[in-house]
Chains A and B, each alone.
Chain A
Amino acid sequence: MSRRWKVFRRNRMALLGAVIVGAMVLTALGAAWIATHDPETRTESFRTPPDSAHWLGTDENGFDVFSRVVYGARASLVTAVSAVGFALLFGVPLGLLAGWHGGWTDGTIMRLVDVMLAFPSILLAVAIAAALGEASLTTVILAVGVVRVPLFIRQVRAAVLQVKSQEYVTAAQALGAGHTRILLRTVLPNCIAPILVLATLSTGIAILDAAGLSFLGLGPPETSPEWGVMLTKARVYIQHDYQWMLLPPGLAISLTVLGFNLLGDGLRDAYDPRQSR
């Protein structure tokens, strides 16, 4: 652990990623204290440029843009973390089962994975969001989460196959440990590293996918403080004088995703130096 921490700490980019992600988490948690206005209460001014009262100006509904960006961190992180949580919930057990059991279980699960991976992910998410009907944050979470499940199954299965033939697993079997015990106590802990890396990188991608779905009108309602929604609204003004409205939500998404990507790359380098970029 300490060796990995040393590798990680020496990697400045990874540290930067950790700082960005940490800052975003704090912003999401403390949104109520950081925001200067309520993100869904109309103020007196409309479409004003940044000033001392509204640090990033106001939008066409009279909402304070800075406060909406701050609350957007909460919406984005909650969506992405829930989506990745969903993918973990289904992906890890199925991956463990496929890798450990082998045979027809493995065959069936992996064919399912093949079918799901035959769709470009955004389009599958669009279809799922459409099938769920009502455009809301829950819909986005499910759509983005389902799309990521096959990736987790594949990663966990590969990790299990690698661990399976190790001597400590044979030793545990020789000691008479049951399947469940070996899987949970011996195999899973040794698969944590690749799962952690994939989960971190997936969170970044989930933020992008969720913003994309919102942008296509499949996400939360137009007034909710969410970065994708804010960009959709700002899009109307591309050819007018309010182009700066594009900047706050766009930069917020890019910075957050960059943070998760840097952190994910850093974790991968720390756990598996051979795979470093």
Chain B
Amino acid sequence: MKYALRRILVTFPLLLAVSLVVFALTDALPGDAADMRFEKHPAAKEQWRAERGLDDPFVVRWLRYVGGVVTRFDLDRSYLDDEPVGPELSIKLQATFELTACALFLAILIGITVGILSAVFPRSPVDYAANLLALCGISIPVFWLGMMLIVLAVNVFDFGFSSNRYDPDLDVGGFATHLFLLESLVRLRFDVFLSCARNLLLPSLALSTIPMAVITRMTRSSMLEEMGKDYATTARAKGLPATRVVLRHILRNALIPILTITGLQFGQLMGGAVLTESVFSWPGLGRYIVDNGVEARDTPVIVGGILLVATMFVLVNLLVDLLYAVIDPRIRRGT
């Protein structure tokens, strides 16, 4: 309990520091969206800057921003039209979350299965093939793979998909969230689910290659290490079936390093999705940050967007650390 509490408390100063870094980075941005907006009215720009408090010292602006986020979940307003950027960022975050979750699901499913097979049959064709694929997975640029998948899908498989999240003809009026894949399942709207799944398939496949490669390698080495230990020999010597030994005894102990690497990959994916989103024109957070934030120099979009992704990353790693304690009591006791 003490471990969990300490681990949770450390998260707050970390997030504060993260917001400071993002704020400082965007403060250095040469010019902003308002330059264009008030191109012909320099006087109006001065007035607008004064109203928004943009001429205040850096520390004042940062504290005001953090205050707004903490007390009102307010991520500031756009420099383009003074509309709050929070709602749009939240929609994009949900799109990216769904894409990332699907990619990670594929990566875990295939990565752990192949990793186990490689460890159980070392130096077999399966092992060599898995190793080769894992090497390709970490060597091929995601955005190139995405484009090749599009070319393949369109020319060879005649697989139709669009860059929308679902078929625009479908009615999703009653949906409470923008996690369409999940919510359509809960609401038993299989038409929406299939449409979403179809559009998600290629981007999540492209995005899953790196984590899949990493998880496969980690599973293999972690399983191999555990297999040589005494308890595994004991279990086999007792005459337990091989499958049971591998899945119930060895896998359970091999799971901790796999879990760590998966948590780290999830965070990297949330950000790394920006390339996949760009290739597939997927309306996600990364692409929104680059197109509407960096390209248009709309600072609040950049700050808010990166802060959201970093917060997710930090929270997922916190969750993984807490999960360890559940799996491994030694960590709980801090020994």
Contacts and interface: CB of A to CB of B under 8 A. Distances in A.
B275 interface: yes
B92 interface: no
A255 B140 CA distance: 8
B26 A127 contact: yes
A123 B305 CA distance: 10
Interface stretch (A86-94, A95-103, A128-136): A128-136
Given A208-B141, A211-B141, A261-B135, A131 B313 contact: no
A123 B289 contact: yes
B314 A246 contact: no
Contacts of B294: 126, 130, 218
A119 B313 contact: yes
Nearest to A253: B141
B197 interface: no
Interface string B135-151: 11011111110011011
B200 interface: no
A235 to B, nearest CB: 6
Contact of A119 (B18, B221, B275): B18
B249 to A, nearest CB: 23
Given A115-B14, A216-B278, A250 B148 contact: yes
Interface stretch (B176-184, B250-258, B266-274): B266-274
A223 interface: no
A235 B17 CA distance: 38
Interface string A128-152: 1011110000000000000000000
A130 B154 CA distance: 34
Contact of B271 (A121, A216, A249, A254): A121
B271 A119 contact: yes
Interface residues of A, number: 43
A254 B25 contact: no
Contacts of B33: none
B286 interface: yes
A204 interface: yes
Interface of A: 111, 114-116, 118-124, 126-128, 130-133, 204, 208, 211-212, 215-218, 231, 234-235, 238-239, 243, 246, 249-250, 253-255, 257-258, 261-262, 277
Interface of B: 14-15, 17-18, 21-22, 25-26, 28-30, 131, 135-136, 138-144, 147-148, 150-151, 154-155, 217, 220-221, 267-272, 274-275, 278-279, 286, 289-290, 293-295, 302, 306, 309-310, 313-314
Interchain residue pairs A-B with the least CB separation, the first 4: A120-B271, A123-B271, A250-B144, A258-B139
Given A118-B18, A123-B286, 17 more contacts: A115-B21, A118-B14, A119-B306, A126-B294, A127-B26, A127-B306, A130-B26, A212-B141, A212-B143, A215-B278, A216-B278, A234-B147, A238-B150, A254-B144, A257-B139, A258-B136, A258-B139
